Structure 1
Amino acid sequence: MFTGIVKGTARLSALERKAGLSTLTLDFPPGFDAELEAGASVAVDGVCLTVTRHASGWAEFDVMQESLVRTTLADIAVGDLFNVERAAHDGAEIGGHPLSGHVDCTATVVGIETPENNKVMRFEVAPEWMHYIFAKGYIAVNGCSLTVSDADRASRRFSVWFIPETLRMTTFDAKTIGSRVNIEIERATQVTVDTIRNYLDERLGPLLPRLEALLGTSLVEQTTASLPGATQTKP
């Protein structure tokens, strides 16, 4: 498990591509790999990877085909920087929200604004994942726990704000329009939405799309947004 609090950036120093597998060598920031051992888990841009080989200051990871297909790790090149976080230990403070490191999809940066001392990024995702993204809810972008500032179902887009400290510790300041990022949705939200969708589908069946068309909105989203804690934000 991870907390979504990125501990720095690591640089890709070597990349070996094989059939259905890529081997990555990452150079870590000072002190990041203290007591790191082979078999340990590290979140690399939000993807949970297992250390296969390690020496002071660097580690090697194998990335399987499924991860390559589902994440941005298929498009990387030597010299690229990645957000990294060690697996949480017992008693660790959850400064963000619990993450599994199992990326659900990718999103594309479609807008960037830079108000004073802040940065706002707007992302677009596939329609099936937009069901789980709500304003004031949690989302993980490249392994960083963030709060959704607004979400537009029609355009399949959502925005997040970055404070200077987050920009300093991560790779987000270097992202541009068109950049792809890894998305892990918040699991409690997914379970809630899927449960409600299944219930409504069982009860209403083919009437559900007609009712939603008549109302001009999603019954699932209305119900989910009204649940206690649905608008909870991080401190």
Structure 2
Amino acid sequence: MKTNISYKTVFFLMVFLSALLTGCNKEGNERFESDFGDIETPTLAGSEYRPTALKDWQVSDNRIECLVSDENRNLQLLTRELGNQRGTLEMTVRVGFFNQALSHRNTNWAGFSIGSKGKFLNYGNRAKLYNGIKIGVCTNGALFIGEPSPNHKNQEVINALPKGLDLKIVVTPIKNHYTIDFSTLDIETGKVLASISKKQVTKDGLMGDLVLVSNFESRGKVNNAKSVWFEDWTIKGTKLNSLENKTAI
């Protein structure tokens, strides 16, 4: 004769599994996904983003476009930030280049500033966000974490810039520090086109705002040519915190 599991055992097993799954969700799944198509006006007024200069950005075809090729054109996310807790981060965005001009210092690039702190400080309409870790891809196809350098060209990445490519950041805690892995991927095949890593990153460098960046050398004169576009900005991880009280100005 078979012995049936009691209803009480089944009930407690279901409660245990539910609590386990709920705990997993709480720990790792603070998440953000951009939807620029929800912004009804051509500008970003009243949205969850703060641009360095409102006139420098517009929404078109569910993409956010930078309308100038200038230095430190930033788009700050207002609803999420990196907290001071130990945790993970995975962030991706699709970026395409209208402007592929090379800079002799290799300072024409697009990507992220993570862990940015403080406020936007405007000097003659030239805004800067200080203390963040810059991570990006340059117009010569080189990747960097920190500051651009005159690296060798990557022709495979260069070829992908006009149609767009995916930028992916993975931040992993290792003992008392963090490792940042940064890669570019083909948007059609998912193939990794290039990748770099930075180890021994301190936790202090990974607290603060998350920002999209378009940076093009201008030598004091604004170039009124579109630089880059972004779409499908996604962020998740246990180091990501939700903010409810920030508003765009």
Larger Rg: 1 or 2? 2
The two structures share one fold, judged by TM-score above 0.5 = no
User: Under TM normalisation by the shorter chain, which class is it?
Assistant: under 0.3
- Structure having the higher strand fraction is 2
Higher relative CO (CA 8 A, sep ≥ 6), structure 1 or 2?
A: 2
| TM-score, normalised relative to structure 1 | 0.26
TM-score by length of 2: 0.25
Instruction: Tell me which protein shows more helix as a share of its residues.
Output: 1
